[in-house]
Amino acid sequence: MLTVSQMRQLLAEAGLAPRKRLGQSFLIDGNLMQRLVDTAELTQSDTVLEVGSATGSLTEALLARAGRVVAVEIDRGLARVLTDRLGGDPKLTILTGDVLASKHAISPDVLAAVGAEAALVSNLPYNIATPLIVECLASSWWAVHGCEGSCRFGRLVFTVQAEVADRISAEPGGRDYGPVSVVTSLLGEVSLVAAVPPSAFWPQPKVNSRIVRIDFDAPAAGQVPDLPLLQALLALAFGQRRKQIGSVFRKGNRGLDPAALIEALAGANVPPDTRPQRVTPEQFARMARHLAERSPH
């Protein structure tokens, strides 16, 4: 693992500096980095996707445990530093570019590189954490439903802002509960592993972080017949979260028929005067199944 002094020297020699715009804060606490890797429970049969690999401290630890590592770094300067340091390792594939093709899709090049099954283990850049987590779960859902070109991510282990961890693990009724809470609950099992203080990073962020593990639940994912439809339903409901859900659904949108939405509410035993944040993941799933049966999305 590189020390802060070594990181500074590497970046200075390359004419680089951490870029706030890209959410770059590098994990420098060796004990917490080891905790992150240990939590992933990797074996030599695992392929690992690491996003935001920077100068490669975590990459080195992953290479010692996994059979193969695909490191994705959007910063071309950092990618060159990583290539100079570790590019000779035959177990390592380095991709330069954005891990996301769009807000709602992982890059096809990344999916092709990791293959059919992988684990995500990363100190995630703050600005892409939520969409990437959701898209890894979505890719896993597509894999369960037989879609070629998707990857089943059996485990997602990452550092993320504490407030994002709160949204991922939120229960119905609270202000943190929303679409990511529902999708994560229906497709996986969340474990909040350890708190990570700002001092564990360089440069230090202004917020606390957490190590989180999500285990993808394939049987549960098989019970969600149409994930895009579920996501459209969630976007509609939580787009006006302060309103009663019946009032929102009576107007419809997101390509969903108002009459079918009201029928779905009744089918899921959700009173129309309920606020979206009080609807359980299971109730949203029942509504999505009702819609999928009557009007495929």
Burial of 210 (0-12, 13-18, 19+ CB in 10 A): buried
Task: Of 17, 104, 94, 84, give the one whose Cα is nearest residue 62.
Answer: 94
227-294 shares the fold of 4-221: no
Quote the CA–CA distance of 279 and 293 in Å, as a whole number.
Answer: 21
Choose the CATH number for 4-221 among 3.40.50.150, 3.30.457.10, 1.10.3210.10, 3.30.200.20: 3.40.50.150
Instruction: For the domain covering 227-294, report its CATH number.
Output: 1.10.8.100
In the chain, what are the domain boundaries? 4-221, 227-294
Kindly give the pairing relationship between strand 92-96 and strand 68-73.
parallel
Amino acid at 56: G
Query: Per-residue pLDDT for the chain (297 aa), expressed as one digit of tens each?
Result: 788 888 889 888 889 888 887 778 899 999 999 999 999 999 999 999 999 999 999 999 999 999 999 999 999 999 999 999 999 999 999 999 999 999 889 999 999 999 999 999 999 988 899 999 999 999 999 999 999 999 999 999 999 999 999 999 999 999 999 999 999 999 999 999 999 999 999 999 999 999 999 999 999 999 999 999 999 999 999 998 889 999 999 987 778 899 999 999 999 999 999 999 999 999 999 999 999 988 654
Q: Give, as one character, the DSSP assignment of residue 256.
A: B
- Count of CB atoms situated within 10 Å of the CB of 182: 27
